[in-house]
Amino acid sequence: MTAPLSIELLYREESGRIVATLIRLLGDFDLAEEVAQEAFAAAITQWNEGAVPDQPRAWIVSTARHKALDAIRRRAILSKKQREIAVMAAIEERVAPAADDASAMDVVDDTLRLIFTCCHPAFSHEAQIALTLKTLCGMSTEEIARAFLVSPVTMAQRIVRAKSKFRAAGIPYRVPGPSELPERLEAVMTVVYLVFNEGYAATAGDAIVRRELCAEAIRLARWLVELLPAEGRPRALLALLLLHDARRDARTRGGEIVLLEEQDRSLWDGAQIAEGLVLVEAALRAERPSAYALQAAIAALHARAKRAEETDWRQIAALYELLAHLSPSPVVELNRAVAVAMVDGPERGLRLLDALAARAVLDDYHLLHAARADLLRRLGRFEEASAAYRAALALVSNDAERRFIERRLAEVTGPLRPSERC
């Protein structure tokens, strides 16, 4: 009846936390994932027959433990190795009865352990992301491969390599101590942010998988907020993700990109915006707002504007200036220039962009050329605009963005400039 649905929900919500507990008990990522899968499979058969347990989560953990013990016993018998038998004895001790009802505290700690281990700085970002999605989010290797546009074999190798490094290099399965926490949390938030960006930035590839990446990133950010209530930064990150993701339905129309100012704002997710705005307020009250808080505040100003013309560009430009001081990057300067153009006119914005272009740090970034082209277009300097659009086209990799730039290029070379049409 409703059992299959509830198992699926339980899997979505709990598989990461269940695997987290199993990894602590078993000391082995692969075995933990394998027996968790088997336990969920057993749940589907048994619960469908009407035997739904009172505490589904505890049932899964306990079933998975028994399956793990069986697996270890089989291995021990096969290898007849003293070491395997010793490992089994140790695990039997830890897995022993009483432990069946893991306390709420254990679940929190286990989940944090897994989050910090997946995002351990000894792994590359690529490995951190793959490991996080696989073990915490319960995505399959194929799904992750599809989301990152690599072959399943490549993704599988990445995951295997990370897991074997976890074992061989002695990466600890623990929550970092207070002195390391700030830095380690930063690494975790970077991973969450990268997962979100991968889903949000590109519109190529499998749209459903990409949307799922955004949802998983939001779920991870929620976990951080819930598990580390004393930390302000996860709240700012969650706000940022919620406010961006709220625009998802308005961002594309028939596979084409719709610019922020042209989006149908009634399609924005009002509930998500409301939640994001509350979080932003709290994040900005912090003594030193993080870069995530400033970015979230910028997203909040966009979200507050009922119509594009009501956008408070002056405040957005000011926030970008703060952001440029806090975490300087050419991309932040690019965005600031665009905001300044909205406040003080395209000429001022273009001066900033030209200064940025002169530093040649963003030569390969199509959005710099597209932004310059846009300001040149607004100034009526069509010839220079079309050159800049062409530079952007040569660099853009996303199809929807390419079509957008092509349309703009046609505008400046087409009807307005019939002489250049041949």
Partner 1 sequence: MQYMLLIYENEAIANAMPPEQMGAVFQEYGTFTKSIVESGHFKSGDALQPIATATTVRIRDGKTVTTDGPFAETREQLGGYYVVEAKDLDEAVAIAARIPASRTGSIEVRPVMVFEGGM
User: Which of 156, 224, 157, 162 lies closest to 196 in space, CA to CA?
Assistant: 224
Q: H or E stretch including 399? A: helix 399-413
Which residue, 140 or 164, has its beta carbon nearer to partner 1? Answer: 164
Residues 43-82 that bind partner 1 (CB under 8 A): none
Helix (H/G/I), strand (E/B), else coil: 252: strand
Residue 185 or 242: the one with the smaller Cβ distance to partner 1 is 185
| DSSP classification of residue 98 | G
Phi and psi at 137, nearest 5°, equal -95, -10
Q: Choose the stretch contacting partner 1; rule: CB under 8 A; options: 56-64, 85-93, 117-125, 285-293.
A: 117-125
Nearer Cβ to partner 1, position 63 or 128? 128
Q: Which of 83, 288, 307, 325 binds partner 1 (CB under 8 A)?
A: 83
Nearest residue (CB) to partner 1, 70 versus 180: 180
Could you say which of 55, 79, 124, 327 contacts partner 1 (CB under 8 A)? 124
Report the alpha-carbon distance of residue 68 to residue 24 in Å, rounded: 13
Q: Measured from the CB of residue 308, what is the shortest distance to partner 1 in angstroms?
A: 41
Stretch that binds partner 1, among 53-61, 116-124, 308-316, 317-325 (CB under 8 A): 116-124
Distance in Å, CB of 213 to partner 1, minimum: 22
| Closest distance of CB 229 from partner 1, Å | 24
Q: Which is nearer to partner 1, 166 or 268 (CB)?
A: 166
Q: What is d(CA 247, CA 76) in angstroms, rounded to the nearest whole number?
A: 54
Q: How many Cα atoms sit within 13 Å of 413 on the Cβ side?
A: 17
**Alpha-carbon distances, residue 16 vs 77, 216, 223, 280 (angstroms):** 30, 11, 11, 28
Rounded-to-integer distance, Cα 302 and Cα 319, Å: 12
By C-beta, is 87 or 305 nearer to partner 1?
87
CA distance 357 to 189: 30
**219 scored as a contact of partner 1 (CB under 8 A):** no
| Shortest distance (Å) from residue 402 CB to partner 1 | 33
Closer residue to partner 1 in complex, CB, 50/170? 170
* Binders of partner 1 in range 147-206 (CB under 8 A): 161, 164-165, 168-172, 176, 180, 183
CB of 172 to partner 1, least distance (A): 4
Tell me the C-alpha distance between 391 and 152, whole Å.
34
CA atoms in the 13 A half-sphere facing the CB of 308? 9
CB-based contact 178:228 (threshold 8 Å): no
Long-range contact list for 353-359, CB < 8 A, 24+ apart? 356/330, 359/330
E strand or H helix that includes residue 332: helix 330-344
Smallest gap from Cβ 273 to partner 1, in A, equals 36
User: Contact between 122 and partner 1 (CB under 8 A)?
Assistant: yes
How many residues bind partner 1, per CB under 8 A?
18
Nearest residue to 10 (alpha-carbon basis) of 64, 71, 72? 64
The residue within the footprint of partner 1, chosen from 29, 59, 123, 148 (CB under 8 A), is 123
- 223 binding partner 1? (CB under 8 A): no
Q: Which is nearer to partner 1, 125 or 407 (CB)?
A: 125
Phi, psi of 350 (to 5 degrees): -65, -35
Q: Is 121 in the site for partner 1 (CB under 8 A)?
A: yes
DSSP string, 201-230: H--SS-HHHHHHHHHHHHHHHHHHHHH-TT
Selection from 153, 285, 191 nearest residue 232 by Cα: 285
Which C-beta is closer to partner 1: that of 9 or that of 169? 169
Q: Nearest distance from residue 201's CB to partner 1, in Å? A: 23
Is residue 140 part of the contact set for partner 1 (CB under 8 A)? no
Interface residue list for partner 1 (CB under 8 A) = 83, 120-124, 127, 161, 164-165, 168-172, 176, 180, 183
